[in-house]
Amino acid sequence: MIPLFDLSLQLNGFPMKEAKAELRKIIALSEKEHEAFLENKKVEIVNFHLQNNPFYQELIGLNAPNWDNLPVLNKRNLQKPLLERLSKGYSSKNSYVNKTSGSSGDPFIFAKDKYCHALTWASNMYRFGWYGIDFNCSYQARFYGIPMDFISNKKERFKDLLSHRFRFSIFDLSDVVLETILKKFQNKKFDYINGYTSSIVLFAKYLKKKNIILKEICPTLKVCMVTSEMLFETDKILLEQQFGIPIINEYGASELDLIAFQNPNGEWQVNSETLFVEILDDNNQAVPNGTSGRIVITSLFNKAHPFIRYDIGDIGILDEKSTLKKPILKKLIGRTNDIALLPSGKKSPGLTFYYVTKSIIEDDGNVKEFIITQTKIDTFEIEYVSENELTATQIQKIEKAITIYLESGLTFSFSRKEKLERNKNGKLKQFISLIKEIKE
C-alpha cells in the first residue's frame, strides 16, 4: 500500500523522512545522553528566538537568559497579531498556522515551522505505533468536529480520505445520530477510534442502553484513543466494557504536540523528545515530583514561534519515579467540558464552541477571553473581555455560526466584562452548563 499519509505530508512541505530519522535518534539516547540533549536544545531554542524573534526579545527585556529567570509565557501574551510574533524568515506561507481551541477561554492563532510540525506527526505516529496503529493503513473512526462551510468542509473530508479515516461529526449526538454511527461500525472495518472524550463517552452510553459491545459488531477494532478532555475513571471503565478494547488516554495541545500518552504499561508517559515539561508553583519555581503545580511546556524545535516556558493553563503532578528521559504524568487536574443539551434533543459537547470561536476570533486580539454559560435549555450567556464592545454585525455573525453548528431558536445575551471569574486553580472554563440531564 502506498503510504498516502506520509506522502501527503511530504507534498505539503513537511519533511517526514528527516523528522522520523531525528526522532529515532532521540529515542535511542541513554538517560545521560538525553539529559545532555535536553540542555543543549533548551539553550539552542532560547538563543534562536533571542536573535531572531522581536516578540520574544521584548518579552525577555534585560533579563539574563538563565533558564530559571526566563519569563513564563501565558496565552494572553500571545493574543496579538501572529505577524508580530513570528521569527525572522517565517511567515504564514512557509509555516503551519492554526488556532487553539479556546477551551481555556484564551484562544489565539499560532504557528510552527514545517520541520517542527513534521516532528509532531512523527511523535504521534511513534506513540500510536505502540498499539499496532499505522496512520498509512489503519482505518480510523474519528469523533471530531468539522467546519460547516462548504469549502473548508470538503478540504477536511479530503484530508480524512488521505489519512485513512472516517469522521463522525460531533455537533449532534442525539440517539438518532448515534444509531447511524452504530451502523457505520457494523459496515466498516475500523482499526481504531480517536476523538473527543465526551463524544465517545456519549456513544458508549448509547451502546450500554442498547446492550451492545462494539467489538462484537466490528471485530477489526483494536484500540480507542481519547483526547482533548478529561477521562474520568468511571468513563474509562464504561468505554472498556462497551467497546471491548483497550482505552488509551492522550493529553495534547494543538500549538505544541502530544504532551502525554498512555504507554503499554498503563503509565501516562510524557513526551520528552520534542518537549520539555516543567511543573511550577505560583512563583515559577519547579516543584518536587509528586507535588501539584502548573504545567509549563517548552517546544524544543519550534523556530517559527516561541513556546518557551509556556503555561498551558492546566494543573498536574509528575510521578515520583519520573526521569528526564521518561517523565510520567501522575495526575492531570482540569480539562473537562460539559455537554450542551438543546431543545431538539441534541447533545453537543462543549468543544463544539471551538468552532464557534472561529467566528469570534480575528487576528486583531480584540476578544481576549470568553465564557459561555447555558442557563436554560434554550438560553446562553456569553461573557467576554475585549478592547471594544462587540458590534451588532459581530454578534450577528456569532449567532449565525451557533445556529449552523447547534440549532436555530436559541437565545443569547452578550456581556462585556473587565475580567472573567476563574476557578481556584486560576483556570477559565470556556463552557459551563447549568442544565442537568434527567436520569433515565
Is residue 384 within 8 A of residue 414, CB to CB? The reply is yes
Please report the DSSP string for 103-136 in residue order: TTS---EEEEEHHHHHHHHHHHHHHHGGGT--TT
Q: Is the four-CA dihedral 33, 35, 36, 38 of positive or negative sign?
A: positive
pLDDT (0 to 100) of residue 354: 54
Buried b (16+ CB within 10 A) or exposed e, 119-128: bbbbbbbbbb
Is residue 67 within 8 A of residue 60, CB to CB? The reply is no
Please report the DSSP string for 414-439 in residue order: EEE-SS----TTSPPPSEEE---PPP
pLDDT (0 to 100) of residue 322: 96
pTM, two decimal places: 0.78
Question: In this structure, how many other beta carbons lie within 10 angstroms of the beta carbon of residue 146?
Answer: 18
Strand partners, 96: 112
Give the length of the chain. 440
Name every residue whose Cβ is closer than 8 Å to that of residue 9 and which is 6 or more positions away in sequence: 16, 118, 121
Is residue 410 within 8 A of residue 342, CB to CB? The reply is yes
Q: Which three cell numbers stand for residue 228?
A: 482533548
Name every residue whose Cβ is closer than 8 Å to that of residue 51 and which is 6 or more positions away in sequence: none
Q: How many alpha carbons fall within 13 Å on the CB side of residue 157?
A: 9
CA distance 227 to 163: 18
Q: Is the four-CA dihedral 69, 72, 77, 78 of positive or negative sign?
A: positive
Of residues 77, 40, 137, the one with CA closest to residue 309: 77
CA torsion, points 70, 71, 73, 77, in degrees to nearest 10?
Answer: -130
Is residue 210 within 8 A of residue 179, CB to CB? The reply is no
Is residue 263 within 8 A of residue 319, CB to CB? The reply is no
Q: Which three cell numbers stand for residue 271?
A: 513526551
pLDDT tens string, the chain, 440 residues long: the values are: 557 788 888 888 999 999 999 999 999 999 999 999 999 999 999 999 999 999 999 988 876 678 988 999 988 888 889 999 999 999 999 999 988 765 555 678 899 999 999 999 999 999 999 999 999 999 999 998 777 778 878 888 888 887 789 998 777 778 888 999 999 999 999 999 998 887 898 899 899 989 999 999 999 999 999 987 778 788 899 999 999 999 999 998 889 999 999 999 999 999 999 999 999 998 999 999 999 898 999 999 999 999 999 998 888 899 999 999 999 999 887 544 467 888 998 877 665 665 566 556 544 557 766 788 889 999 989 888 777 888 888 888 888 888 887 888 889 899 998 777 754 434 466 678 888 643 33
Please report the DSSP string for 300-313 in residue order: SS--SS--SSEEEE
CA distance 327 to 47: 25
Burial class of residue 286, CB neighbours in 10 A (0-12, 13-18, 19+): middle
Is residue 195 within 8 A of residue 170, CB to CB? The reply is yes
Strand partners, 140: 165, 192
Give the position of cell 434527567: 438
pLDDT (0 to 100) of residue 426: 40
Please report the DSSP string for 365-396 in residue order: --EEEEEEEEEETTEEEEEEEESSPPPHHHHH
pLDDT (0 to 100) of residue 222: 97
Of residues 370, 383, 379, the one with CA closest to residue 340: 379
Of residues 138, 431, 400, 129, the one with CA closest to residue 264: 129
CA distance 356 to 114: 27
CA distance 272 to 48: 20
Q: Are strands 339-341 and 347-349 parallel, antiparallel or unpaired?
A: antiparallel
pLDDT (0 to 100) of residue 439: 34
Angle between helices 4-11 and 150-162 (to 10 degrees): 130
Task: Let me know the angle formed at the C-alpha of 262 by 256 and 263, rounded to the nearest 5 degrees.
Answer: 115
- The single-letter DSSP state of residue 290 is T
User: Between the CA of residue 73 and those of 55, 78, 297, 332, 432, what are the distances in Å?
Assistant: 11, 8, 9, 20, 26
State the Rg of the chain over Cα. 22
